[in-house]
Amino acid sequence: MNIQSERSRFLSLISAPLTQPSAPAKETTVPCEAFVSPRGQYYVVALGARIDVANASTARYYVKHGVTIGQAIRATIKEIQCS
């Protein structure tokens, strides 16, 4: 390759329009129910597995939007390993 062809290739690369990144794919969610333990710990139950959450606001968010499949599966595996 000569310098002229490298220069023209470089100029074509930097003058090409930038493309916008596509939005991430929305992850599938499953419904859940929120609870509060007698000691005040908030948690949601999805697919029969308990997922502890930080506060009431987080629990409400999960009830409204659902829990991702990944979160539900990890919680289910954790419960199986602990029993």
Give, for all 83 residues of the chain, the pLDDT tens digit: 576 777 777 666 666 566 666 656 788 999 999 999 999 999 999 999 999 999 999 999 999 999 999 999 999 999 888 87
Residue 16 confidence (pLDDT)? 59
Helical (H) or strand (E) element with 77:
helix 69-82
- Taking the CA atoms of residue 58, residue 59, residue 65 and residue 66 in that order, the dihedral angle to the nearest 10 degrees is 120
Helical (H) or strand (E) element with 6:
helix 3-15
Claim: this prediction has a pTM higher than 0.85: no
Task: Give the single-character DSSP code of 83.
Answer: -
Residue 82 confidence (pLDDT)? 86
Residue 5 confidence (pLDDT)? 72
Residue 14 confidence (pLDDT)? 61
Distances (CA, A) of 81 to 17, 34, 75, 76, 77: 51, 23, 10, 9, 6
